[in-house]
Structure 1
Amino acid sequence: MMPVILIILFIGLVLLFSSFFTVKQQTAVVIERFGKFLSIRNSGLQLKLPIIDRIAGRVNLRIQQLDVIIETQTKDNVFIKMKVSVQFKVIQEHVYEAFYKLEYPHDQITAYVFDVVRAEVPKLILDDVFVRKDDIAIAVKRELNEAMMAYGYDIINTLVTDIDPDIQVKNAMNRINAAEREKTAAMFESDAQRIRIVAKAKAEAESKKLQGQGIADQRREIAKGLVESVEVLNQVGINSQEASALIVITQHYDTLQAIGADTNSNLILLPNSPQAASDMLNNMVTSFTASSIIGEEMKKQPKRVKDRGNKTSMDYNPSDTSNPGEPTK
């Protein structure tokens, strides 16, 4: 008798403990009685009748993600692989519909994603697919929401996470992008070169301007020094012609000295003997004296009356009104 009682107690304890079960957070449990839907139990410690009631299934209430890869063709006949990520969850108030109406939700969602993407992408060229991928994602979400809401599913978000064209198309796009960047780099390099040339030209112009001013100042000071030298020589009884010739000879020897000091200068043959210097001095004095005499003689000559009637004369100047009288008719 005692063993029977122990067996009954053991069975009773097993049935008692099997009546209790726990449900995790963000999970719903579907209870059936004799194969018929009874209730939905949420998170926490729950109780069911042993043997009569059973757990038909557990439904995940957390947000899930499904990645769908679709191969399709664009308007410009380019085959691409597009990856669409769908984030969805079961609506807590519609666990019954999610559990009983749809057996394979992932397959159903995948079918709708394929249908929408293959309807939208062929309307666009490849470049527009990259630009308008958000519009494609919105279209997928709108279509899925309308279809899956009846099954107790809420579409949280849809994302076009990857667009992968054919390898040959991808290489061609890379070459186009590289060519565009080289073109842009060449344009910037050209602008930089132009700026450098303009800046260099401005610097050279400014340098030449300053150099010219320096040469002008130098020559001005040289002229002042020459005037002072002539005045000093005049004071000791040397006339202007002889003084000028003497200064030229001095500069001649200064030039020879400067050429000799420069080791990189080319060969220049100049007369540098004492006799040559003496001849040069005499020639200059003679030239200056002759020029002075000719100038004085020209000043002494009377002015000739220009005949305006004789237009072939070399002395006639129609614009000269200094001669008195009118031409004879």
Structure 2
Amino acid sequence: MGNIILGVIIFFGLIIFLSSFFTVKQQTSVIVERFGKFHSIRHAGLQLKLPLIDRIAGRVNLKIQQLDVIIETKTKENVFVKMKVSVQFKVIQEKVYDAFYKLEFPHDQITSYVFDVVRAEVPKLKLDDVFERKDDIAVAVKRELNEAMSGYGYDIINTLITDIDPDPQVKHAMNRINAADREKSAAEYEAEAQRIRIVAKAKAEAESKRLQGQGIADQRREIARGLVESVDVLNKVGINSQEASALIVVTQHYDTLQAIGSDTNSNLILLPNSPQAGSDMLNNMVASFTASNQVGESIKNGNRKCEEDKRKNTPLLPPAESPDDKTE
């Protein structure tokens, strides 16, 4: 019986002895209380406490933590948006006591301050400005949290606005606006391209017409030179200018008929094209030359008569007095 009691005492004594030792992990602090009162803060490593007297009140994480806060608020133009604010914070190692004893729920405290700052800043801005100035909002949240939480032993490392989600209808309207702007830009670029194509085409046509006109002028000039040379050759053999011109026209007429007849795929019909057409054309041409000569002679006679009438009707001026006559 005595051995059993001794064994039980040794067993409980061993348990009490082993409970005097505990370990603390890296980046962790342990709060030790004695009879319910704060006694000490233990850091990483093997630690010793008095059994049945000291107890571990809690463990404080010294690593950087992140708290994601979802906030719904409205902008200056009464557009509701949901914002996700990520707060990165940690407990200051020198202020573990304040972090453990002063705040019961630090996450709730941080969330409250984030709500307060965001709902004070966002209603001052329009929706587009919220997207453009989200970094300014994040800085304002960090500044406010640092001032509030540093007294409780917390250090705010950074605050990030990771998401801005407007109301679905507003988002759809914004997408339509952006699509309309892009369509407008595309239409403007397309119109500009069309204008450039039209201008280039007009310039090309103008240049083509100019070169075509120049070619026609050169062609007619060469034809005229050829006709002059032909007339000179015919004059040398006793054919006058009218007959030479008539002969050239008739020759060109039959050359044209021959060229048209040589093309089997041509649908062109030259009118008149009877055998009598050449003779009629020659007679008409001779009559035209004769009439033109008569008209030219009558015009010359009329001009000559007008000059003689002017000469007859012009009064003669008296002779001017000489200086010698005035002196006498």
Band the TM-score falls in, shorter-chain normalisation: 0.7 to 0.9
Corresponding residue number in structure 1 for 2:80? 79
What residue ranges of structure 2 are gaps of 5+ in the alignment? 317-328
**What SS does structure 2 have at the residue aligned with 1:270?**
coil
CA drift at 1:105: 0.7
Matched, 1:224 2:225: yes
CA distance in 1, matches of 2:22, 2:292: 137
CA distance in 1, matches of 2:157, 2:303: 118
What residue ranges of structure 1 are gaps of 5+ in the alignment? 308-314, 317-322
Aligned-partner residue type, residue 192 of structure 1: A
CA distance in 1, matches of 2:20, 2:68: 39
Contact (CA 8 Å) 2:70, 2:85: kept in 1 or not? Answer: yes
Runs of 4+ displaced beyond 6 Å:
none
Aligned-partner residue type, residue 280 of structure 1: M
Residue by residue over 1:244-265, the C-alpha shift from the partner in whole angstroms, topping out at 9 and shown as x without a partner, is 1121122223433455538465
CA distance in 2, matches of 1:279, 1:105: 120
Corresponding residue number in structure 1 for 2:54? 53
Residue by residue over 1:49-102, the C-alpha shift from the partner in whole angstroms, topping out at 9 and shown as x without a partner, is 333333222211121111111112222222221211111111111111111111
- The alpha-carbon distance between structure 1 residues 297 and 100, as it changes in their structure 2 partners (threshold 3 A), is closer
CA distance in 1, matches of 2:215, 2:21: 110
Corresponding residue number in structure 1 for 2:95? 94
CA drift at 1:238: 2.3
**What SS does structure 1 have at the residue aligned with 2:304?**
coil
1:314-325 map, 5 Å: 323=311
- Please say which of residues 292-301 and 245-254 is displaced more in the overlay: 292-301
Contact (CA 8 Å) 2:28, 2:44: kept in 1 or not? Answer: yes
Matched, 1:285 2:286: yes
Aligned-partner residue type, residue 115 of structure 2: F
- The alpha-carbon distance between structure 1 residues 297 and 114, as it changes in their structure 2 partners (threshold 3 A), is closer
CA drift at 1:110: 0.6
- The alpha-carbon distance between structure 1 residues 18 and 217, as it changes in their structure 2 partners (threshold 3 A), is farther
- Please say which of residues 254-263 and 201-210 is displaced more in the overlay: 254-263
CA distance in 2, matches of 1:324, 1:157: 117
Aligned residues: 315
Corresponding residue number in structure 2 for 1:233? 234
CA distance in 2, matches of 1:96, 1:110: 22
Aligned-residue CA RMSD (Å): 2.9
Corresponding residue number in structure 1 for 2:45? 44
CA drift at 1:305: 4.4
**What SS does structure 1 have at the residue aligned with 2:242?**
helix
Corresponding residue number in structure 1 for 2:201? 200
Corresponding residue number in structure 2 for 1:326? 314
Identity of aligned residues (%): 77
Residue by residue over 1:101-158, the C-alpha shift from the partner in whole angstroms, topping out at 9 and shown as x without a partner, is 1121111111111111122222223233223222222221111111101110111111
Residue by residue over 1:194-223, the C-alpha shift from the partner in whole angstroms, topping out at 9 and shown as x without a partner, is 111111111111111222222222222222
1:256-275 map, 5 Å: 256-259=257-260, 261=263, 263=265, 265=267, 268-275=269-276
Corresponding residue number in structure 1 for 2:323? none
Corresponding residue number in structure 1 for 2:213? 212
Contact (CA 8 Å) 2:89, 2:156: kept in 1 or not? Answer: yes
CA distance in 2, matches of 1:242, 1:253: 17
- Please say which of residues 72-81 and 11-20 is displaced more in the overlay: 11-20
TM-score (norm 2): 0.84
Contact (CA 8 Å) 2:260, 2:266: kept in 1 or not? Answer: no
Contact (CA 8 Å) 1:271, 1:277: kept in 2 or not? Answer: no
Which structure features the higher share of helix residues?
Answer: 2
TM-score (norm 1): 0.83
Corresponding residue number in structure 2 for 1:178? 179
- The alpha-carbon distance between structure 1 residues 272 and 305, as it changes in their structure 2 partners (threshold 3 A), is closer
Aligned-partner residue type, residue 81 of structure 2: I
Matched, 1:143 2:144: yes
CA distance in 1, matches of 2:51, 2:306: 153
**What SS does structure 1 have at the residue aligned with 2:272?**
coil
Residue by residue over 1:2-57, the C-alpha shift from the partner in whole angstroms, topping out at 9 and shown as x without a partner, is 66665555545444443333322222222222322222222233333333333222
Aligned-partner residue type, residue 40 of structure 2: S
**What SS does structure 1 have at the residue aligned with 2:305?**
coil
Aligned-partner residue type, residue 102 of structure 2: K
- Please say which of residues 297-306 and 31-40 is displaced more in the overlay: 297-306
Contact (CA 8 Å) 2:253, 2:278: kept in 1 or not? Answer: no
Contact (CA 8 Å) 2:90, 2:155: kept in 1 or not? Answer: yes
Corresponding residue number in structure 2 for 1:110? 111
